[in-house]
A and B are shown apart, each in its own frame.
Chain A
Amino acid sequence: MIFGIDVISTLLGGVAAGMVLFIVSVGLSVTMGLMGFVNLAHGGFAMIGGYLIVLAMNRLGMPFVAALAIGFVVVAAVSTIFERLLYSRLYRATELDQVLFTIGLVFMMIASVTLAVGPETQPLTLPTWLQGQINLGFISYRTYSIVLIAVGTVIMLGLWLGFERTRMGAQIRAAVDNRRMAESLGINITRLFTLVFAFGSGMAALGGGLGAEFLGLDPQYPLKYLVIFLIVVAVGGLGRITGVFYASLIIGVVDFALKKYLPQGGTVFIYGMTILLLLWRPQGLFGKST
């Protein structure tokens, strides 16, 4: 029984960690898959969202959930402006020009946040009902982890339904699979891009706020966690929502378990695992093979 509890707590911890990865990375996967845009500034939108959420809570005294909503909406709106004014000029540019552009953007975001708020970490204090432990009957576990698992699952289901069951979702899927064909069928790709980009950035903002308990929040955020977000996207397969979801969970759980049982391994596992998975399935676990 002790062993069983051990395994369950490892699973819960890993799944919770995976959910954070999922919420932040899903937008990146869709923008990269749909638009073919290497958006290294995605973490920057997560950071800005996180800052808005923390500042709304700490300076305006807003409740956590309301602040999350504000963060989502504001970042989605702001990113629409970014997309229309800047990103859209680079849709036909090479990947490397996109890298240059988005890294430049990240530098500017880091410097602006540092100048405006300061270089220090922003403390996010969860409301009391999210702190501490919750008794699930068979095990007591960190309340916030359980909530994250629930939230992540709801988001996943919502996205899945949206993707599979709505007209918009069908349009996005069509555009990911074959953009030219979708365009010639009269799908308004420009509008679709803007909407998807705004939504993806909004999700990143949400992830910045929800994940701050684990990932912290400071001006270096967009660069610090860029690699892990990219790993999730690459392993999941570009533009695949279910792919990102499963990839996040697999990476979350395996990484968690290895850290717990073999902490001496450091980051070797995450890199090694990614290399093996990508050599095995270069298009990602759930990507379309060419």
Chain B
Amino acid sequence: MIKRMLAATAALAITTAFAQAQEVKIGLVAPFTGIGAELGQQIDRGVQQFLKLNAGKIAPYKLTIIKRDDKNPSGADSKVAVQELLTQENVDALAGWIYSPNAIASAPVVSAGKKLAVIMNAGTAFITNLSPYYVRTSFSMWHAGFALGEAAAKQLKAKTAVVGYSDFPPGKDSLAAFKRAFEANGGQVIDEIPMGGPAQVPDFTPFFQRVKDKKPDLFFVFVPAGDHALAVVKTYGALGMKAAGIKLIGPGDITQDIKLQAMGDAAIGLITMHHYNADLDNPVNKALVASWKKDYGADATPDFVAIGAYDGMAAILHAVQATKGKMDPDAALAALKGWKYDSPRGPIAIDPETRDIIMNEYLVEVVKGADGKLHQKVLGKIDAVKDACKAQKIGPCAPK
């Protein structure tokens, strides 16, 4: 705590020293306690790493981050945090949001506050429709789910699949996206299994035994990254499903980088579709991973949550530069529509129509490297993937 206060004092001193540096205040809303605290930490670190690695580009502006803990997915705490950031702190931009319900509940306040708001994680597809000030730099569940549905039928040549999902919107979205694409390409989903909620990690054994009995080619799983994913891979390994010829696939949530090493050898051979993993081979990512390990320890690593935050800051910086630090919301949004950026996940852009992200999706296999650690090997990539839900107006985005 003392360290933090010293850091705050130091930051204050710097601010005073460069009084002429134009300050842009950014309110960062994320859970720093509770079940989402680990994700909140990744967001925070992603933001800090961006500021550190891009210090040269940020000058002469000064980006001040004001953190607020939105605690839980109730909507109300997040909403109050957003209100106070807008009315008490007079922030120039908002950012964050791990939980979709919080982004959804905050949308009217964001609209009324008329400030750029960058969603760094929340993945429910239609969120960006709720406020014209929302821009998303993370993902929608449809990005990976839809792409993997196609790849499962075409590249993995699977005929049948069982889908297991956590019973909340990202899970249902993943199911819908995967199923639609997989069946459109000749595959068949033979069972759909809701596997408990997002808060507690259930014992996955009964669900997985059910899958084992169904003998599908593929078992597509969406569970929240973190404990759930860890338990999924462990159970998969312990039940001998790999030996039974059932391949485990899913969006990259199940191979989240910060959990990967803990999964052990059971994870080898897992196939995922996602927009980021820490092994991606490009210079921006290499620099980020190196700096990350230096700052937070050899076992720490950025993951897709951190990248949402990193790129979110890049978007904000672009808006700051384009508006010369004034952060006029309309000008900032205009500058971001169609904005292109060289991210650690590869080239990204903001779709001018939907203000959602366009990015590459990577088909990845988990392999064991020469260093004895698990790595993610890119098998293939799909360029410039849009959120299929909004782009094709299907599923929950279909016109009512």
Contact = CB atoms under 8 A, between A and B. Distances in A.
Direct contact of A and B (CB under 8 A): yes
Interface of A: 6, 9-10, 13-14, 16-17, 110-111, 114, 118-121, 123, 125, 131-133, 140, 142-145, 213-216, 218-220, 224-225, 256-257, 259-261, 263-264, 266-267
A10 B239 CA distance: 12
Given A145-B205, A220-B34, A259-B207, A132 B259 contact: no
Contact of A260 (B167, B206, B258): B206
B30 to A, nearest CB: 12
Contact of B41 (A6, A118, A259): A118
Contacts, number: 102
A271 to B, nearest CB: 13
A259 B41 CA distance: 33
A57 to B, nearest CB: 12
B213 interface: yes
Contacts of B210: 260-261, 263
Contacts of A218: 38, 227
A238 B203 CA distance: 26
Given A17-B203, A133-B240, 19 more contacts: A13-B206, A13-B209, A120-B38, A120-B41, A121-B227, A121-B230, A121-B259, A123-B259, A142-B205, A143-B238, A144-B238, A216-B201, A220-B34, A220-B35, A224-B35, A224-B200, A260-B210, A263-B195, A267-B197
B231 A142 contact: no
B206 A256 contact: yes
23 contacts: A9-B209, A10-B206, A114-B33, A119-B38, A120-B258, A121-B38, A125-B264, A131-B237, A142-B238, A213-B234, A214-B201, A214-B231, A218-B38, A219-B37, A220-B35, A220-B37, A256-B206, A259-B206, A259-B207, A263-B193, A263-B194, A263-B207, A266-B197
B170 interface: no
Chain B CB count within 10 A is highest, among A9, A143, A214, A259, for A259
Contacts of A10: 206, 209
A132 B240 contact: yes
Chain A facing B: main interface SS: helix
A214 to B, nearest CB: 5
Contacts of A264: 194
A74 B258 CA distance: 29
Contacts of B199: 224
Contact of B230 (A131, A144, A216, A266): A216
B339 to A, nearest CB: 32
Interface string B119-139: 000000000000000000000
Contacts of A125: 262, 264
B312 interface: no
Contacts of A111: 33
A13 B35 CA distance: 27
A132 B38 contact: no
Given A6-B213, A114-B33, A121-B227, A266 B167 contact: yes
Nearest to A133: B240
**Closest 7 pairs (CB-CB, A-B):** A123-B262, A119-B37, A260-B206, A216-B227, A259-B206, A142-B238, A119-B38
Chain A CB count within 10 A is highest, among B201, B203, B213, for B203
Interface in B304-333: none
A27 B226 CA distance: 29
B341 to A, nearest CB: 28
Interface of B: 32-35, 37-38, 40-41, 167, 193-197, 199-203, 205-207, 209-210, 213, 226-227, 230-231, 234, 237-240, 258-259, 261-262, 264
A118 B203 CA distance: 24
B54 to A, nearest CB: 26
A287 B35 CA distance: 35
A255 B74 CA distance: 28
Nearest to B32: A119
Contacts of B237: 131-132
Given A123-B230, A133-B240, A218-B227, A114 B37 contact: yes
Contacts of B197: 266-267
Contacts of A261: 210
Contacts of A266: 167, 194, 196-197
A125 B237 CA distance: 13
A153 B241 CA distance: 28
A119 B41 contact: yes
B206 A257 contact: yes
A15 B166 CA distance: 24
Given A120-B38, A120-B41, A260 B238 contact: no
A219 B32 CA distance: 12
Contacts of B193: 263
A121 B226 contact: yes
Contacts of B239: 133, 142
Nearest to A9: B209
A267 B209 CA distance: 18
A216 to B, nearest CB: 4
Contacts of B40: 119
Contacts of B167: 266
Contact of B201 (A9, A123, A215, A257): A215
Nearest to B199: A224
B41 A260 contact: no
Nearest to A6: B213
Contact of B200 (A16, A110, A123, A225): A225
Contacts of A140: 240
Contacts of B33: 110-111, 114, 119
